[in-house]
Structures are given as structure tokens and as C-alpha cells.
Amino acid sequence: MDSIFIQIASYRDPELIPTLDDLISKAKYPNNLKICIAHQYSKKDKWDRLTKYKKDSRFIIIDIPYKESLGVCWARNQIQQHYDGEKYTLQLDSHHRFVRGWDVRLIAMMDFIKKIGHQKPLITTYLPSYNPNNDPNDRQTMPWGMSFHKFSPEGVVFFLPYHMSKQIDRPLPARFYSAHFAFTLGKFCKEVPHDPLLYFHGEEISIAARAFTWGYSLFHPHEVIAWHEYTREGRTKHWDDHKQWTEQNTGSLNRMKMLLGVDG
């Protein structure tokens, strides 16, 4: 069975439930999904209820009061503790929309990449954007790739999306990893788990480097599989609630630089 372990770290996000609804309704085989959510919530957020999914056997919901959260990498690591041998895994954020049949399309890409000689494909990208206030009209229609943008003063690599050519008809070899969209073999959860001591910046380049050392080959999808909301305008983020985040971030950056051998 082509089971997929879905990883979603959600922090006080009103888009979580619409994302889950769309994820399930657009999958060709929704019963093959095992969906694990790090649900970082506040009782003040009346919209943030997962009642409809609490008794669904496909779901593992890790309820985390928002004041107890240690950040996104920590939350992703909590999710990965629940991996149970599923064939594939898909890591997402909690603000997405999906094309119909996204699951079989990703598996078909995976099979193609294996046939051309890469036994551990990792399909990842910065997804094209959508706007929940004007959806689906504002959805970008071309697939996006990831390119180098700059180094921060602390030595963190930043990326920018770019529009991929319409002439590309197969998954495109990639250099960089996106934490909001990554489809690969399920055992990735054990081989390259998220470092719970990283905070935010440095997450993606550290995973890319570690995945490479474990023999994974990174590819961008050549067609649109899903959309991502980038602005999250007016939404509460972890660093809004946790004023000590700068200390966490400093320690995280030092840890990332040690891993990659970056000076400073």
C-alpha cells in the first residue's frame, strides 16, 4: 500500500482546517493518508478546533498549548516521533491548497526519478502562492523552483522562488530544500529528522546538507502540485507570542554554523 505520512506543524493558524479539508478531498486515495499535526493552539482562537478530525483514525493530533511551543523545528521533530513505517512522507505547512490527485502525481514523479537512477528522491520546492481572501482567482499557475538569493550577516542562506520554464517536462534537479513542501521516502523521518534545537532560520539549508549526506537527490516538481500562502498577513506567529525568541534564534544560528562549518 502506498501510504503517506503527512506532517503538518500548525501555529494558531486559521488556515489549518481549510488546508486539511482540501488535502483530503483532493487526494485520489485519502484512506492511504496518515496525518500527524503538531497543533500549537490558544483557547482564545475560537476558530481553532479540530473536532471534526479528533475521532478520525487517519489523524494523530499532538495538542500543544502555544505557550509551551519551542518553535517550528521542535514541532516538526515532535511529529516525526510518530512515523510508523509509512512508505512515503509529505511535509507541509498549515496553509495550502492542492490539485486534484496530488498524491498519485507525486508518487508518479517519485517512480520516474527512481527509474532514471536516483534511489532516494526528495521532491521539494517553494510552492506557487495562493491568497485565501481571493481563492482560487489569485493562484499562481506556473510551477516554481528555488534559487540562491543571499547570505545573511549570520551566514544563513536565503532563497527566492522563480518561475520554471513551461518546456520542462520532468522533475528538475534541485540544490535547495523547502520545509513547507517536501515529498520523499518515509524513512527520511528517521534518517534526517528535524533538529529540535533549531529555531527557524537555517532550517532549510541544514536539512538540504544532511539529506545529501544520506544519499537523497533533490528535485523540484515540474508541474503545480499545491499552493502555499506566504504573507500570513495579520496572523499570530511564534515570535509574536514568545519574546525570548531572539535568544533561541541566536543559539540556533550557532548550531547551524557548527553543522555547516560556517565562520563567525
264 residues of the chain, pLDDT tens digit each? 699 999 999 999 999 999 999 999 999 999 999 999 999 999 999 877 899 999 999 999 999 999 999 999 999 999 999 999 999 999 999 999 999 999 999 999 999 999 999 999 999 999 999 999 999 999 999 999 999 998 877 777 888 999 999 899 999 999 999 999 999 999 999 999 999 988 867 889 899 999 999 999 999 999 999 999 998 776 776 656 666 667 777 767 777 777 777 765
Three cell numbers at 129? 502562492
> Can you give the pLDDT at residue 225?
98
| Amino acid letter for position 124 | T
Nearest-10 crossing angle of helices 245-260, 203-213? 30
Q: How far apart are CA 222 and CA 112, in angstroms?
A: 12
Instruction: Return the SS3 of 177.
Output: coil
Interior/surface letters 11-37, b for 16+ CB within 10 angstroms, e for the rest: bbbbbbbbbbebbbebbeeeebbbbbb
- DSSP 8-state code for residue 241: H
The arrangement of secondary structure in 4-260, i.e. its CATH architecture, is Alpha-Beta Complex (3.90)
Of 24, 21, 8, the C-alpha closest to 179 is 8
Sequence spans of domains, the chain: 4-260
Residue with C-alpha cell 520545509? 179
